Chain A
C-alpha cells in the first residue's frame, strides 16, 4: 500500500508543524461540511461489527477530504506532527458531536510502538488504518494472564525466517472484525516472566487463526477470544527485538494511559452534554442529588482533560512517562464510572426499562450498553488495584507488600 493520493489542503505543511492551526482548520472543515457528517450523529441500532464499519466510513471521509487522519503520525504513512495533532482530532470530533472512531482507540495504543520500534513495517501497514480500510486488535490478556500479564503463555517458536504461534488471547477489543492483531507472545521460558516476551503483528486471515466473539452483559459483542494454531508469522512482523516485548508494552502504556484517557474525556464530555440535554428537558423531577453529581462529573471530566493534556504535552516533548501515568488511569476510571452511574440513576426508569414510549429509546439503549462497557475502565489496561499498587510502589515509595 503506497502513500495516499487523497487531496490535502494547500496548508498541509504548515498544519503538520502547528497543532493549533491544525485544530482550527479541522474545526472549520467540520463546521463547513457539517451536513455531510450528520450520518455519524445520533444513535442507530447497530451490532459492534456494524458500528466498526460505520466508524471506518467516518475515518474514510476524514481521510479523503483533507487527509485529517494522517496528521500527528510520522511520514511516509502519516503527514508528520506529534501526539497533539491526534489529540486535537479526537477533541474536535467530540466537540462537533461526532464519535471518535472505534479504530482510533486501538490505533492510539498500538500505532505508537509500531512506529517507534518497526518503522518500515509502519510504512507498510499504517496507511490502511488512516483510510479506515483496516484496523487492529490488541492481544495481551489470556485466560490465565489477566492482571498478571507476565504470566502469559501464548507461545512463538522460531522456524527459519518465521515465528510459529500457538495459544490463545482473550478480551480483545474489536477482535472479531480486526484485520491484524498486535500480540504479546512468549519466546522465552515461562519462568523468565516479563523477560521472555516478544511483540508480534499477526494477520487475522493467516492460516490457523480462529476467533470467537464474547458478548458483554449488554449483549454487545465488544470483545473476542482469538486462537492461534501453528500460525506462521514472518520475522519482519516483530515489533522490537525478540524477548524485548515487555519494553514495547511499557512504551505502549504511556499512550494508552494518556491518549486513550484524552479520547475518553472528549467522548465523556459529549455524552454529558447529551445527558444534560435529556435531563433539562425531561419535565419530571430529578432524583435527589442529581444536580450536584452532574456538577461533580463535569469537574471530573475537566480534571481528566487537564491531566491527560499535560501528559500528552510531555509525550510530544519527547519525555518518557512512567508509573505516574497510573494517576491518569485512575482519573479516567473515575470519569467513566461516575458518568455512567449518573446516567443510570438520573435516567431512572428510561435506563432500567426499555419502554417503547420513551422518546429517546435509542439513546437509552446506548446508555445501557455504555454503562456495561464503563465497568471495564477499572479492569482493562491494568486493573484499579494494579494502578494503586504501582503508585504505592513507584511513586509513594511505600514498603513492599511482603508476599510479593
Chain B
C-alpha cells in the first residue's frame, strides 16, 4: 500500500496548517485520522509528518511516540520515552532528554551488558530542568534519575533496535524539513537582496554555495528513502546511515544558508538562527553525525559487512 502523490500533498497541507496554528499536535493528528494514514504508508506518512514539524520549527513529543510504537506494551498519550542523553560514556550529569509531552509515565531505557532494558517511572517523581543552550525553543527537559529511582526493568531485545531505527528515520526527516525551509529562505533572500547593483544570488560564489546545499539536501532525502525500503536485516544499519547523512547535511546546508544571509543570518530578527540551532539539536539526538561516522568506521574496522544497502 502506498499513498499517491495527490493524497500526500493534501496530507502535507493539513499538517502544515496544524503546525502553523501551534496547536498541540497529538489531538490534531487524531482529528486528521492519522492512524489510518500511518498504517497505509508508514514511510511517507512519517517522512511528511516530521518534515513538516522540522519546517515549522515545532516542538512536540512525536519522536518519543513514534519510537514507543515499536515497543510493545506502552501507549503514546499515557507514556513517553526518555531519550538517551547525547553525551557519551559514564558521567554524573543528566541521564536523558524528555521531549514536550503531557504523558504521566516515562519509559526509561538503560543499557546493560545483556542489552537494553526498559523501566517505567512516574513523571512526577523525576527531577527535570529545561534544556536551554543552543536551541532554547526545543522544549526539551533534562532528566536526572536518582539512584533510588531504578525500578524493575524488562529486557526489550531487538525491539529497542527497531525503535532507535524508527527514531533515526524520523529525525532525519525532521532535519530535512528544517534544512528545506532554511534553503528556501536563503534562495528568497539572495534573489531579492541587491549589492553592487545586482542580486546577491547572481554572484557565482553565492550560487555555488546554495547549489551545494541543494545537493546535500537531495542526498539526505534519497538516503532516507532507501532506509525506509531497506530489507529487514539491514534496516537498522540503513537508518544509521540515513541519520548520519541528514546530520552531515544540516551542517553543510546551514553553514551556507547562514553565510549568504550576511549579518541578518546571525540576528534574532531573521528566522535563520532558529533553523541553525534546531538542525544542530536534532542532529545530537540518537547519535550526531560525527559520532555515527565513528561508530560505522569502528564497526568496519572490526570486520562488519560494508553492506551495499541499495540494489537496483
A residues with a Cβ closer than 8 A to B are 19-20, 23, 84, 87-88, 91, 95, 262, 266, 269, 272-273, 276, 279-280, 290-296, 298-299, 302-303, 305-307, 309-310, 312-313, 324, 326-327, 330-331, 385, 387-392, 395-402
C-alpha spacing A38/B163, complex, angstroms: 43
Q: Are A388 and B226 in contact (CB under 8 A)?
A: no
Determine the distance from Cα of A396 to Cα of B238 in the docked complex, in whole angstroms. 29
Please give, as numbers and ranges, the residues of chain B lying within 8 Å of A299 by CB-CB distance. Answer: 223, 241, 244-245, 248, 293, 296
Whether, in the assembled complex, B83 has its beta carbon less than 8 Å from a beta carbon of chain A, the answer is no
Chain A residues within an 8 Å CB radius of B311: 20, 23, 91, 309
Q: Which of A20, A390, A391, A392 has the most CB of B within 10 A?
A: A392
Whether B301 and A327, one on each chain, are in contact in the complex, defined by CB atoms closer than 8 angstroms, is no
Knowing A385-B208, A398-B201 are in contact, say whether A95-B296 is a contact too (CB < 8 A).
no
Instruction: Name the CB-closest residue of A to B240.
Output: A299
B309: nearest residue on chain A (CB-CB)?
A302
- Listed from nearest, the 9 A-B pairs whose CB atoms lie closest are A295-B297, A295-B296, A392-B207, A295-B293, A294-B297, A291-B297, A391-B211, A388-B211, A398-B201
> Which chain A residue has the least Cβ–Cβ distance from B302?
A280
Indicate if the CB atoms of A392 and B308 lie closer than 8 Å: no
Contact of A303 with B219 in the complex, beta carbons under 8 Å = yes
A402 touches B187 (CB 8 A): no
Contacting pair B292 A302 (CB below 8 A): no
Least CB distance from B14 to A in Å reads 27
CA distance A48 to B79 in the complex (A): 65
* A123 CB to nearest chain B CB (Å): 26
- Chain B residue numbers with a CB within 8 Å of A20 are 311
Query: Is B126 among interface residues, defined by CB-CB distance under 8 A?
Result: no
* B52-63 contact mask (Cβ, 8 Å, vs A): 1 or 0: 000000000000
Chain B min CB distance to A138 (Å): 24
Cβ of B198 under 8 Å from chain A: yes
Residues from chain A with a CB closer than 8 A to the CB of B296 are 294-295, 298-299
> A306 contacts which of B201, B212, B223, B295 (Cβ < 8 Å)?
B223
- Report the minimal beta-carbon distance from B3 to chain A, rounded to whole angstroms: 18
Contact between chains at B244 and A309 (CB < 8 Å): no
Question: When the two chains form their complex, are residues A305 and B310 in contact, meaning their CB atoms are under 8 A apart?
Answer: yes
Interface of chain A, helix or strand or loop or mixed? helix
**Cα-based distance from A290 to B312 in the complex (angstroms):** 30
Query: Are B223 and A399 within 8 A (Cβ)?
Result: no
Number of interface residues of B (CB under 8 A): 46
Contacts A388-B207, A399-B191, A400-B202 given; indicate if A307 touches B219 (C-beta within 8 A).
yes
Q: Is A310 touching B312 in the complex (CB atoms < 8 A)?
A: no
> What are 19 A-B interface contacts by the 8 Å CB criterion?
A262-B312, A269-B308, A280-B300, A290-B297, A291-B294, A293-B293, A296-B248, A305-B308, A309-B311, A310-B222, A331-B215, A388-B212, A392-B207, A396-B214, A398-B190, A399-B190, A399-B201, A400-B202, A401-B207
In the complex, the answer to whether A399 meets B198 with C-beta atoms within 8 Å is yes
> Which residue in A95, A396, A397, A400 is a CB contact (below 8 Å) of B308?
A95
Picked from B199, B203, B207, B312, the residue with its CB within 8 Å of the CB of A19 is: B312
The CA-CA distance from A397 to B199 in the complex, in Å, is: 13
Please give me the residue from chain B that is nearest to A384 by CB atom.
B208
The yes or no answer to B268 lying at the interface (CB within 8 A) is: no
Q: Which residues of B contact A290 (CB under 8 A)?
A: 297
Residues of A within 8 A of B198 (CB): 399, 402
By a CB distance below 8 angstroms, the chain A residues around B290 are 292
Contact B187 A23 (CB under 8 A): no
**Interface assignment of B225: CB less than 8 Å from any CB of chain A:** yes
The answer to whether B293 and A296 touch across the interface, beta carbons within 8 angstroms, is yes
Further contacts, 11 of them, CB under 8 A, given A95-B308, A306-B309, A327-B219? A280-B301, A280-B302, A290-B297, A305-B310, A307-B218, A327-B218, A387-B211, A392-B201, A392-B208, A396-B187, A399-B198
Contact in complex: B225, A298 (CB < 8 Å): no
A395 and B214 contact, CB distance less than 8 A: yes
- B308 x A295 contact (CB < 8 A): no
Tell me the residues in window 2-18 of chain B with beta carbons closer than 8 Å to chain A beta carbons.
none
**Cβ contact within 8 Å between B300 and A295:** yes
